[in-house]
Structure 1
Amino acid sequence: METVLRPVTVIGGSLVVTLIAGWLLDLLLRRADARHTETPLWGLLRRCRLPFQVVLCTSLLRTFHRQAGILPDHSFGVGRALTLVLIASAAWLAVRIATAVVDSTYARYAAGTQDEARVRRVRTQVTLIQRVVTAVVVVVAAASMLLTFPPMRTVGASMLASAGVLGIVAGIAAQASLGNLFAGLQIAFGDTVRIGDTVVVDNEWGRVEEITLTFLTVRTWDERRITMPVSYFTSKPYENWSRGGAQMTGTVFWHLDHSAPIELMRDRLQDILKDIPEWDGRGGGLAVTDTTPHTVQVRAVVTAKDADDLWTVRCAVRERLITWLVTHHPYALPRITTTEATPRPTP
């Protein structure tokens, strides 16, 4: 009877202690979150409740499983399994804590900073740092789990004997991956491209949606996703429309007849811009930039606070000014002259 009662008591007691400790931890974090509303750290740390409970319960069972007589015929195997679970859950808890600290730091910085470009830069750096920390913790946990097996230590010693050859082979095989890894770190701390930046790569316009240690995702205007290695952005030229600020200047072109009323078009452009909410008011002008035997090229310069609004302003100006010309000045539209040329007057 004792051989059954003791294991059940230890397992049940460990579960009860774990549940109570998890409840107390969550209660303390909720109270701290209510007192310190200026930081979201305590609320984010509540995500650590489950891994904390797993670590605590596994630690208790690993400490008392021999005395409790849990599967006494397989005591070594039970201890090994609990050790592996403890390492994995500790890594899980470490990742959750690191993520909470990083997210809290970014949230406080974003709330207190008005410069959108700096916020995007910090967000990019924080995201990559978080991924690096997660990768390091996972690698260390996996290595620790492997080292609990004695045969692995022998294999490790034999592998060290040929580390020079393996290092060369691995370096050649992972050259592209390592290049992307270092390129990702260079992008994060070199501030060349950030999450949320508007870029043009391979004649595709879009917004940077995600940056990892090895690849970068650009979301195009038509909802497509272009995935590119981060090394592309450190080795090839590309356009970053958000570099140095999100404000942008754009142009709108028309090809019109030589008789087009340029001065009236300038006045009409100002009226049109005032009715477009996306126009930021920084600039708006119109000029003749080129001429051909049949037409003149008229260019309007408009501004907006970012690339999306600039596209809207350009389309609206182009459409409304063409409509105005068709309605009030149709003679200004380009046409092909089929009548005979006026003869040159004789002196």
Structure 2
Amino acid sequence: MLHLLTERPTLVLAGTFFGAVAVAWLSGRAIAVVARLARRPFLRRVHDRCHRAWLATLVTVSELIAIGPAGLPADVEQPVRHALVIATIGAVSWLAATTAFLVEDSVMHRVKVDVRDNRRARRVRTQMGIIRRLTAVVVTIVGAAAALMTFDPMRTYGASVLASAGLVGVVAGLAAQTTLSNVFAGLQLVFTDALRYDDIVVVEGQWGRIEELTLTYVVVHLWDERRLVLPATYFTTTPFENWTRSESRVIAALELYLDPSAPVGELRRKTRELVEANPLWDQREWVLQVTDVTELAMVVRITASAADASSAWDLKCDLREQLLAWVHAQHPGALPRMRTAAADARLDRELVLS
């Protein structure tokens, strides 16, 4: 008789375990077949991402339901049931987080950033990245709190903990003031659309792209492959340049310092020829203007539009290099130089004779 009583709990729990594994396997196979026949990549991602969490949830919930009918001794059933409750909370939290991440990844998968004007796509990806982190934090905190509340001491002292929550909150708030301010600053940056992934910014005199944006800090990928890590509060308290907040298009601007005798008309015609021949120009606008004259040179400013910041940078470098080569070859006297009175008199005579 004792042998049968010992055997029964083992059989019930083992049968429940294998039954739950079989249900999880069959449901996974069904989803995989439907995904293949219906050509639904989303269902395939559901199977790949959620299968283990779904298996763990089925097994723990099934064992928790079966522990009563299994007929374990009272001194054994209580700790086993407690362990299964904690395992079930962990498995359900895992499944909830995995499902939330799957939905967020599906949204991000539909948003294409490799398009000409990707401002909206970058905004969605930035917001979904922050929501993903918030989801992980919330699920972890709720799961941990639920697991702790299964212990009798936590329930017994719950009233006293709540009574002292005000004092603890004040102390924790003072201790974590900087961290909390960065968290709120990160949320403000994301949901006010002030900053997004892949935005072109100028901070601390450095040009770069937003590579990572978290709840507490921002990583800027600088042009020379360095990373500038700044607290989120920096961008809410310090002015910074965002070149791509309204649109991806950027104006490339360069300045040439030339001798005042340089032929501006020919330079404008040559600039137009070079701009129109350059594939980086987006065919919207370009301008050449003499913006200043100093004691030694005149300042010629050239602007041309490009599709994005990297194209604008390359376009600016190309135009500068080509224009300087043309000036050096066709009008070497138009390059800036120091003059003396004798040189000026000789130049005047040459002009008169010519």
Q: TM-score, normalised by structure 1?
A: 0.88
Aligned to 1:147: 149
Aligned to 2:198: 196
Alpha-carbon distance between aligned partners in 2 of 1:287 and 1:115, rounded to the nearest angstrom:
29
Partner-residue secondary structure (3-state), 1:207? strand
Partner-residue secondary structure (3-state), 2:138? helix
How far does the alpha carbon of each residue in 1:292-312 deviate from its partner, in whole angstroms, 9 at most, with x for none? 222111111111011110000
Counterpart among 322, 325, 328 of residue 323 in structure 1: 325
- Go from structure 1 to structure 2 and tell me whether the alpha carbon gap of 1:165 and 1:264 turns closer, same or farther (over 3 Å shift): same
Name the stretch that deviates more: 147-156 or 51-60: 147-156
Structure 2 residue 242 is the aligned partner of structure 1 residue 249: no
How far does the alpha carbon of each residue in 1:167-213 deviate from its partner, in whole angstroms, 9 at most, with x for none? 22122122222222222222222111111211111112111122222
Aligned to 1:79: 81
Alpha-carbon distance between aligned partners in 1 of 2:207 and 2:175, rounded to the nearest angstrom:
33
Counterpart among 95, 98, 119 of residue 97 in structure 2: 95
| Alpha-carbon distance, 1:88 to partner | 0.8
Alpha-carbon distance between aligned partners in 2 of 1:342 and 1:115, rounded to the nearest angstrom:
56
Aligned to 1:231: 233
Unaligned runs of 5+ in 1: none
Structure 2 residue 81 is the aligned partner of structure 1 residue 118: no
- Go from structure 1 to structure 2 and tell me whether the alpha carbon gap of 1:263 and 1:145 turns closer, same or farther (over 3 Å shift): same
Residue identity in the other structure for 2:244: S
Aligned to 2:345: 342
Residue identity in the other structure for 2:105: D
Name the stretch that deviates more: 6-15 or 272-281: 6-15
Contact 1:66–1:72, Cα closer than 8 Å, also in 2: no
Alpha-carbon distance between aligned partners in 2 of 1:155 and 1:205, rounded to the nearest angstrom:
54
Alpha-carbon distance between aligned partners in 2 of 1:211 and 1:161, rounded to the nearest angstrom:
37
Contact 1:40–1:104, Cα closer than 8 Å, also in 2: no
| Alpha-carbon distance, 1:219 to partner | 1.4
Contact 1:217–1:227, Cα closer than 8 Å, also in 2: yes
- Go from structure 1 to structure 2 and tell me whether the alpha carbon gap of 1:216 and 1:51 turns closer, same or farther (over 3 Å shift): same
Partner-residue secondary structure (3-state), 1:76? helix
Aligned to 1:176: 178
Alpha-carbon distance between aligned partners in 1 of 2:199 and 2:73, rounded to the nearest angstrom:
58
Partner-residue secondary structure (3-state), 2:218? strand
Aligned to 2:308: 306
| Alpha-carbon distance, 1:125 to partner | 1.6
Alpha-carbon distance between aligned partners in 1 of 2:313 and 2:330, rounded to the nearest angstrom:
26
Aligned to 2:352: none
Partner-residue secondary structure (3-state), 1:342? helix
Aligned to 1:296: 298
Say how many residue pairs are matched: 343
Contact 1:84–1:145, Cα closer than 8 Å, also in 2: yes
How far does the alpha carbon of each residue in 1:217-266 deviate from its partner, in whole angstroms, 9 at most, with x for none? 22112222222222222222111101110111121111111222222211
| Alpha-carbon distance, 1:34 to partner | 4.2
Contact 1:194–1:208, Cα closer than 8 Å, also in 2: yes
Contact 2:24–2:58, Cα closer than 8 Å, also in 1: no
Alpha-carbon distance between aligned partners in 1 of 2:211 and 2:254, rounded to the nearest angstrom:
28
How far does the alpha carbon of each residue in 1:113-149 deviate from its partner, in whole angstroms, 9 at most, with x for none? 9852111112222222222222111111000000011
Partner-residue secondary structure (3-state), 2:220? strand
How far does the alpha carbon of each residue in 1:56-102 deviate from its partner, in whole angstroms, 9 at most, with x for none? 11122233346547798643332222221111111010011111122
Q: TM-score, normalised by structure 2?
A: 0.87
- Go from structure 1 to structure 2 and tell me whether the alpha carbon gap of 1:119 and 1:288 turns closer, same or farther (over 3 Å shift): same
Counterpart among 197, 214, 217 of residue 215 in structure 1: 217
Identity of aligned residues (%): 39
Unaligned runs of 5+ in 2: 350-354
Alpha-carbon distance between aligned partners in 2 of 1:102 and 1:252, rounded to the nearest angstrom:
42
Residue identity in the other structure for 2:107: T
Contact 2:21–2:59, Cα closer than 8 Å, also in 1: no
Name the stretch that deviates more: 192-201 or 88-97: 192-201
Aligned to 1:26: 28
Alpha-carbon distance between aligned partners in 2 of 1:97 and 1:212, rounded to the nearest angstrom:
21
Residue identity in the other structure for 1:334: P
Contact 1:280–1:304, Cα closer than 8 Å, also in 2: yes
Name the stretch that deviates more: 193-202 or 334-343: 334-343
Alpha-carbon distance between aligned partners in 2 of 1:14 and 1:110, rounded to the nearest angstrom:
45
Alpha-carbon distance between aligned partners in 2 of 1:43 and 1:183, rounded to the nearest angstrom:
37
Alpha-carbon distance between aligned partners in 1 of 2:61 and 2:143, rounded to the nearest angstrom:
16
How far does the alpha carbon of each residue in 1:141-169 deviate from its partner, in whole angstroms, 9 at most, with x for none? 00000001111223333222222222221
Name the stretch that deviates more: 14-23 or 290-299: 14-23
Alpha-carbon distance between aligned partners in 2 of 1:230 and 1:177, rounded to the nearest angstrom:
10
Aligned to 2:268: 266
Partner-residue secondary structure (3-state), 2:157? helix
Q: CA RMSD in A?
A: 2.7
